[in-house]
């Protein structure tokens, strides 16, 4: 994929969330079951990094559980971040608007973190090299004992959601312009919008982990229709012996 195409897909998603952010937030009033499952192993003192934090749903859950560790939520959408900041949360909880697809966002973040969450964000990052760059930056912020919980949307597991796939010609592109597994998916709440989504297979996620300094500790499915629309993996940093 050419850099110009990747940049265009990133802009498409940013424009989507700027336009439909309130409608999208209305559909995300509680944590998905797969996230709740991951939280069962969260140490109460862990320093948490929440990548793609949205309007602060995870932060609100942690505060409700009296989580004693620090929390940092990062998201590219300034409106989401401002909404998250205005929640009643402990002073050790912080948020910032950051372009997580950029080359140097991690340099301005003070780690390390014990627990990292990248929920429903990786499938919005186009092009394999950009995803590897993002995950290497995540690795640089993870403590040696850290745990990374990531989730991706497997909309193709639903016949209803597969009908939401839109041909690339809708935005003037062709299949040859994008990568295998890339899709354009429509939105129908509060108007009609389009989002770029990459559909991951388990093996593709595992290869990404190995290429970016992680090892897969657990894989499971949860959420949505019959608990199969969210593909989750728990990664642990690989500690070099050299």
pLDDT in tens, 66-105: 999 999 999 999 989 999 999 989 999 999 999 999 999 9
Q: How far apart are CA 194 and CA 15, in angstroms?
A: 9
Q: How do the domains of the chain map onto residue ranges?
A: 3-237
9-35 average pLDDT score: 85
Q: How many residues does the chain have?
A: 242
Closest CA relative to residue 7, chosen from 106, 98, 104, 127: 127
Q: How confident is the model at residue 26 (pLDDT cuts 50, 70, 90)?
A: low
201-212 average pLDDT score: 96
Strands (DSSP E) found in 88-181: 93-97, 113-119, 142-153, 165-166
Q: Which of 112-116, 121-125, 158-162, 212-216 has the lowest mean pLDDT?
A: 158-162
Given a cut of 70, is residue 186 above it in pLDDT? yes
Residue 119 has φ and ψ, to the nearest 5°, of -100, 120
The CATH number of the structural domain formed by 3-237 is: 3.40.50.150
Q: How confident is the model at residue 1 (pLDDT cuts 50, 70, 90)?
A: confident
Average pLDDT value for the chain: 93
Whole-number pLDDT of residue 25 = 67
Burial track 61-75 (b if 16+ CB lie within 10 A, e otherwise): ebbeeebebbbbbbb
147-164 average pLDDT score: 95
**Alpha-carbon separation of residue 106 from 13, 96, 230, 235 (angstroms):** 21, 12, 26, 19
Residue 96 has φ and ψ, to the nearest 5°, of -155, 145
Q: How far apart are CA 49 and CA 78, in angstroms?
A: 17
Q: How many CA atoms lie within 13 A of 132 on its CB side?
A: 11
Whole-model pTM? 0.94
Q: Is 232 left (phi over 0), alpha (psi -120 to 50) or beta?
A: beta
Q: How far apart are CA 242 and CA 232, in angstroms?
A: 30
Q: How far apart are CA 171 and CA 195, in angstroms?
A: 11
Strands (DSSP E) found in the chain: 48-51, 71-75, 93-97, 113-119, 142-153, 165-166, 182-187, 193-198, 214-222, 230-237
């Amino acid at each position: 994929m050419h850099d110009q195409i990747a940049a265009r897909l990133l802009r498409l998603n940013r424009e989507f969330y700027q336009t439909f952010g309130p409608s999208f937030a209305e559909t995300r009033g509680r944590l998905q079951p797969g996230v709740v499952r991951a939280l069962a192993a969260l140490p109460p003192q862990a320093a948490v990094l929440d990548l793609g934090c949205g309007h602060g749903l995870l932060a609100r859950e942690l505060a409700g559980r009296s989580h004693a560790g620090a929390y940092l939520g990062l998201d590219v959408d300034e409106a989401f971040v401002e909404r998250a900041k205005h929640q009643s949360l402990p002073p050790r909880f912080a948020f910032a608007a950051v372009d997580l697809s950029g080359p140097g966002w991690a340099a301005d973040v003070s780690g390390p973190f014990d627990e990292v969450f990248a929920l429903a964000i990786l499938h919005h990052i186009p092009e394999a090299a950009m995803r590897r760059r993002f995950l290497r930056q995540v690795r640089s912020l993870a403590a040696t004992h850290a745990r990374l919980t990531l989730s991706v949307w497997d909309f193709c597991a639903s016949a209803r959601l597969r009908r939401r796939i839109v041909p690339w010609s809708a935005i003037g592109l062709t299949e040859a312009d994008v990568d295998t597994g890339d899709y354009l998916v429509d939105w129908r709440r509060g108007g009609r919008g389009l989002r770029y989504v990459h559909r991951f297979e388990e093996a593709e996620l595992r290869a990404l982990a190995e290429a970016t300094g992680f090892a897969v500790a657990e894989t499971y499915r949860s959420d949505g229709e019959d608990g199969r629309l969210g593909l989750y993996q728990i990664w642990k940093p690989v500690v070099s012996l050299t």
